[in-house]
């Protein structure tokens, strides 16, 4: 699922191409994509894009007249940029946004349709799409500490809870925890002050460095669908199960549960302990979401 650095990459690429330009036409090609009916989507046609911003893991195209297109890519949704006369790519195209500079196409691979488009009027309606999490790149240590202590969760769950922290998901939470040398299953209210400070610093460093690295890599071109990925070769932990930790060279370990996977270094983060897959439900009990949807939306898990 695209996370804060990926969404910021998209936003920067879109600003270069659509900011202060009119949206000539928007077409929805999948009946599952558009989740709102008022105002009608046709009201977006001819409006000028006056802002492109990130709202958690959502991309917001702000139009004149206080109208907002809110795009939630979920897991497999991606944005692609084409020439104005290019044909949308087959069955995976969900929506087409036509601009004088080119054609923006929202696609989604696979058979499950999780990506969503909302068209809302007014700042109050837009605010309902904000899960309320703290912006990690601008939060000071006190605010970061308050968010961590608001509820007692495992660190993995807390970092990926959009009600607590904005824009962090499965991939970058692994990278942050590895950088902070903290266990993914440590409980937030058991953290010492120095551990919170290390986590706060690691969060800012990891997200800032990856955002800058992606912007540099894709400067001057729009990222393709394969460029937005949760598995990058320069990651320290995420997606590197069995590969050597870049710090201590021990093999990266994993915890798997349903559709989720946590990667960590046993030596750097857990004092050499291996967290076996079969122990996850006992360790986390009801703290781990049982579906992608409950994880993304911050909903409590269903009864076991």
- Cβ atoms 29, 93 nearer than 8 A: yes
Q: Is 209 helix (H, G, I), strand (E, B) or coil?
A: helix
Tens digit of pLDDT for each residue in 66-77? Answer: 999 999 999 999
Sheet holding 77-82, edge to edge: 25-28, 93-99, 102-108, 77-82
Rounded average pLDDT over 42-59: 98
- Cβ atoms 172, 213 nearer than 8 A: no
Rounded average pLDDT over 128-136: 96
Tens digit of pLDDT for each residue in 194-235? Answer: 999 999 999 999 999 999 999 999 999 999 989 999 999 999
Band (pLDDT 50/70/90 cuts) for residue 277 is low
Q: Is the pLDDT of residue 304 over 50?
A: no
Band (pLDDT 50/70/90 cuts) for residue 92 is very high
Could you tell me the end-to-end alpha-carbon distance of the chain, in angstroms, rounded to an integer? Answer: 25
Tokens 């800058």 belong to 212
List Cα–Cα distances, 41 to 34, 47, 118, 193, 276, in angstroms: 9, 11, 9, 49, 49
- H or E segment at 207? helix 193-217
Buried b (16+ CB within 10 A) or exposed e, 125-135: bbeebebebbe
Sign, Cα dihedral of 160, 164, 167, 172: negative
Tens digit of pLDDT for each residue in 98-121? Answer: 999 999 999 999 888 899 999 999
CA 37, CA 30: separation in Å to the nearest integer? 15
Q: Is the pLDDT of residue 286 over 70?
A: no
What is the pLDDT at residue 302?
43
Rounded average pLDDT over 287-296: 47
Q: Is 105 helix (H, G, I), strand (E, B) or coil?
A: strand
Rounded average pLDDT over 255-277: 85
Tens digit of pLDDT for each residue in 10-33? Answer: 999 999 999 999 999 999 999 899
What is the pLDDT at residue 298?
52
Mean pLDDT score of the chain, rounded to an integer? 91
> Considering the chain, what percentage of its residues have pLDDT values greater than 90?
83
Band (pLDDT 50/70/90 cuts) for residue 192 is very high
- Cβ atoms 162, 56 nearer than 8 A: yes
List where CATH 3.20.190.10 sits in the chain: 4-127
Tens digit of pLDDT for each residue in 142-165? Answer: 999 999 999 999 999 999 999 999
- Phi–psi pair at 168, nearest 5 degrees: -95, 130
Q: Is the pLDDT of residue 81 over 60?
A: yes
List Cα–Cα distances, 299 to 71, 126, 141, 276, in angstroms: 20, 20, 26, 26
Rounded average pLDDT over 55-80: 97
List where CATH 1.10.8.50 sits in the chain: 141-297
4-127 is a CATH 3.30.70.3280 domain: no
What is the pLDDT at residue 303?
43
- Strand-pairing partners, residue 28, are 95
231 Cβ partners below 8 Å, 6+ apart? 171, 238, 239
Maximum CA extent, the chain = 59
Q: Taking the domain 141-297, which CATH number applies? A: 1.10.8.50
Both structure tokens of 101:
């500079």
Could you give the angle at the alpha carbon of 80 between the alpha carbons of 136 and 298, nearest 5°?
Answer: 35
- Cβ atoms 254, 170 nearer than 8 A: no
């Amino acid at each position: 699922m695209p996370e804060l650095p990926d969404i910021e990459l998209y936003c920067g690429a879109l600003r270069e191409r659509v900011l202060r330009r009119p949206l000539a036409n928007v077409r929805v090609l999948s009946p599952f994509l558009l989740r709102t009916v008022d105002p009608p989507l046709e009201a977006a046609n001819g409006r000028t894009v006056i802002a492109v911003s990130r709202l958690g893991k959502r991309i917001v195209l702000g139009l004149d007249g206080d109208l907002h297109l809110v795009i939630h890519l979920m897991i497999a949704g991606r944005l692609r940029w084409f020439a104005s006369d290019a044909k949308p790519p087959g069955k995976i195209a969900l929506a087409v946004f036509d601009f004088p500079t080119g054609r923006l196409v929202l696609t989604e691979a696979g058979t499950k349709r999780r990506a969503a488009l909302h068209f809302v009027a007014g700042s109050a309606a837009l605010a309902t799409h904000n899960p309320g999490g703290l912006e990690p790149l601008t939060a000071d240590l006190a605010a970061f500490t308050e968010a961590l202590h608001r509820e007692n969760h495992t660190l993995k769950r807390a970092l990926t809870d959009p009600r607590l922290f904005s824009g962090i998901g499965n991939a970058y939470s692994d990278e942050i925890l590895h950088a902070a040398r903290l266990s993914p299953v440590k409980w937030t209210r058991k953290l010492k002050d120095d551990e919170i400070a290390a986590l706060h610093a690691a969060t800012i460093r990891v997200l800032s460095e990856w955002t800058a690295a992606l912007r540099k890599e894709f400067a001057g071109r729009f990222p393709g669908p394969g460029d937005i990925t949760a598995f990058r070769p320069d990651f320290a932990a995420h997606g590197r199960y069995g590969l050597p930790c870049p710090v201590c060279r021990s093999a990266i370990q994993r915890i798997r549960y349903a559709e989720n996977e946590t990667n960590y270094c046993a030596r750097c983060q857990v004092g050499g302990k291996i967290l076996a897959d079969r122990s996850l439900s006992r360790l986390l009990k009801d703290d781990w979401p049982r579906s992608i949807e409950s994880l993304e939306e911050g909903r409590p898990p269903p009864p076991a």
